[in-house]
Amino acid sequence: MGRSSGKESLGGILAPTVTPFMNHSLEIDLPWVVDHMRVIRERGVDGVVPSGTNGEGPSMSLDERRRLIDVVLENKDDMLVIPGTGCASLTDTIALTKYALVSGADSVLMLPPFYFKKPSLDGLLAYFRTLCDEAVPSGKGIILYNIPQVSAIAISHELLDGLLQSHPECIWGVKDSSGDPDSLRTFISRYPDLRIFAGSDRLAKMAYGLGAAGTISALANIVPDWLQELRRKVASGNEAAAAEVQDRITRLRELLSIYPMRATTKYIIHSITGLPLRQVRPPEIELTDGQKAEIKVRMRKIVGSHSDV
């Protein structure tokens, strides 16, 4: 049975899925994408967010991102699909957003225009208002992506307020990947009618406790069952058990910070699931053999008795 559509359907544990580039080529291994979706769905993921930051979306062509969207939608089963469609160019963003939403995506994750730094509030409002007018069909909406440490442009309250004033039907939510607890807390309290997602695995417990719509975080590529377990513990009020699960999640997430993040995520997926090891696309870099050996040792210490991982 499929999920209901609309803003209120957006929630849960969503995986910002990695993109598997074939060894010794620049091609995307699309069958791998399907296999990975099956694995994480079996582990409890509620949806996928392809071609975002974790999916190296800005390193892909529009045609590649369209093909990826097609494959994900064809194999989504009952999962939510929220592709990353933000580009530096407004015309590319319009084209990719319209394609995703018309093709059946539940929403899209929208980076701000990230090339020109320090754009004015008026310029950003014009960008997103034009996008809503040109690319978002009636009954659909977008999730704004706050990741200023990468994009260098924050989704400010002034920007969000201006968009909600002019296009309230188009703005469905925010993914806050700033990593700042105060930022996440303020988005949740200030915008109760929006779907707010935490982009940080480290803040998952806090996000669930504050009533966030869910998380869109890296470890949902690997252990969405841990995140679902944490969500249940928070909902039940079992503070000690929730803290233990959050600690386990945080320690595994630290591996993605110590080593190159996208390459490490793909290596851990390979180690846990047996899916073929796939590459990143330059300028991202691969792990060395030494780093792989270190990650294996660290993983064993973190996973411990969780032998299903």
Question: In 245-266, which positions are buried (b, 16+ CB within 10 angstroms) versus exposed (e)?
Answer: bbebbbebbebbeebbbbbbbb
Tell me the whole-structure pTM to 2 decimals.
Answer: 0.95
Angstrom distance (rounded) from CA 199 to CA 178: 8
- Alpha helix ranges (H) inside the chain: 30-42, 62-74, 90-103, 121-135, 148-151, 157-166, 181-190, 204-210, 224-236, 239-258, 261-273, 289-303
pLDDT digits (tens, 9 = 90+) for 28-80: 999 999 999 999 999 999 999 999 999 999 999 999 999 999 999 999 999 99
- The answer to whether residue 191 sits within a structural domain is yes
- Model confidence at 24, pLDDT cuts 50, 70, 90, reads confident
pLDDT digits (tens, 9 = 90+) for 62-71: 999 999 999 9
pLDDT digits (tens, 9 = 90+) for 174-224: 999 999 999 999 999 999 999 999 999 999 999 999 999 999 999 999 999
- What domain count does the chain have? 1
Catalytic residues: 53, 115, 145, 175
- The answer to whether residue 271 sits within a structural domain is no
- The answer to whether residue 250 sits within a structural domain is no
- The answer to whether residue 290 sits within a structural domain is no
- The answer to whether residue 53 sits within a structural domain is yes
Q: What is the pLDDT of residue 1?
A: 35
Q: Is it the case that residue 307 has pLDDT exceeding 50?
A: no
Which residue range is the domain that position 93 belongs to? 9-238
N-terminal to C-terminal alpha carbon distance within the chain: 28
- The answer to whether residue 28 sits within a structural domain is yes
- The answer to whether residue 173 sits within a structural domain is yes
CATH number at residue 92: 3.20.20.70
- The answer to whether residue 69 sits within a structural domain is yes
Burial class (CB in 10 A: 0-12, 13-18, 19+), 301: exposed
